[in-house]
Structure 1
């Protein structure tokens, strides 16, 4: 049985380095792990309890929840926007935290990684993401961290999958997350 890991990327930009990291995770997933890169976060409306009514949840939000319910674990990729988590990723977390007490994260393991232009690789945003997803019900695997600085120069001409150091680190992240499935209970 393959472990399904849902990848959510906090950048909507087509050429995003965090998206490229997620693409690399899909390609580098070890045997027994399947990383699914979620498409469609741009279509999910901002969370609003008035919209979150059983039977009339917006289609894009319902699709996100269904994909999350089917996942065994989550791998979140967060760039850093003005020192914190991007709105699109926070919005996804908000939708997946509901209904209260029965959200899609439901104690499943979650790892947060990413890259940013700055010298710390987006650690503030990644820490904020860990906090939000933990409150939302995910079991944050605190010892899985990967913050890659200098994304604009490091990945200017090299896709992360072709960067041997990053590929090795990313493979280890996915393998360790895979190993936490079942240990989350």
Structure 2
């Protein structure tokens, strides 16, 4: 009996030509055969977090929470804006982490990727994202992937062309699958 692992890719960038999204598309291409990685594309539709509405957040937040719940694990690729994660991504995670005690992030395995045009590969935003996820109860994969100088690694068609980065991306997905397999055996 074979198991297919369901991963949900979330890009922290809203740009049409996002390098973070390009990295996630590459992850789809390099994911092993027993891994179904789909890209969630509705970040722009998530309204600003308002605690007054956390019990009845509206359809965009409900759909996001359902997508996260349905996935075995998440792969989040984030750019770095002013040394941190983009506001829209933080906002979505605030919604996902609420209401208190009902977070869809609790126990959810998550791999984090930092993507930047700088020499540091969004290292600071990756650290901030890891902190937010950990506080929200997610199980953050220890394996780190920083993708520096992404503008030189993604071609004009939005494809990741660097074989070293592609290999590291595949390793990250395999590590996340390994974490899922470990949890499946423990259950």
TM-score normalised by L of structure 2: 0.91
Q: Summarize the Cα distance change of 1:40–1:159 in structure 2 as closer, same or farther, 3 Å threshold.
A: closer
Deviation of 1:157 after TM superposition, in Å, equals 4.4
- Structure 2 match to 1:109: 109
- Structure 2 match to 1:76: 76
Deviation of 1:155 after TM superposition, in Å, equals 2.3
> Could you tell me how far apart the structure 2 residues matched to 1:182 and 1:153 are?
35
* CA deviations over 1:91-116 (Å, ceiling 9, x no partner): 11111111212211121211111210
Deviation of 1:163 after TM superposition, in Å, equals 2.1
- Structure 1 match to 2:130: 130
Unaligned runs of at least 5 residues, structure 1? none
In 1, are the aligned partners of 2:11 and 2:21 still within 8 Å (CA)?
A: yes
> Could you tell me how far apart the structure 2 residues matched to 1:119 and 1:158 are?
22
> Could you tell me how far apart the structure 1 residues matched to 2:99 and 2:53 are?
12
> Could you tell me how far apart the structure 1 residues matched to 2:67 and 2:160 are?
25
> Could you tell me how far apart the structure 1 residues matched to 2:99 and 2:54 are?
8
Mapping 1:135-150, distance limit 5 Å: 135-142=135-142, 144-150=143-149
> Could you tell me how far apart the structure 2 residues matched to 1:58 and 1:65 are?
11
Q: Summarize the Cα distance change of 1:94–1:182 in structure 2 as closer, same or farther, 3 Å threshold.
A: farther
- What is the number of residues matched between the two proteins? 182
Deviant stretches of 4+, over 4 Å: 156-160
Deviation of 1:160 after TM superposition, in Å, equals 4.6
- Does residue 10 (structure 1) correspond to residue 9 (structure 2)? The answer is no
Unaligned runs of at least 5 residues, structure 2? none
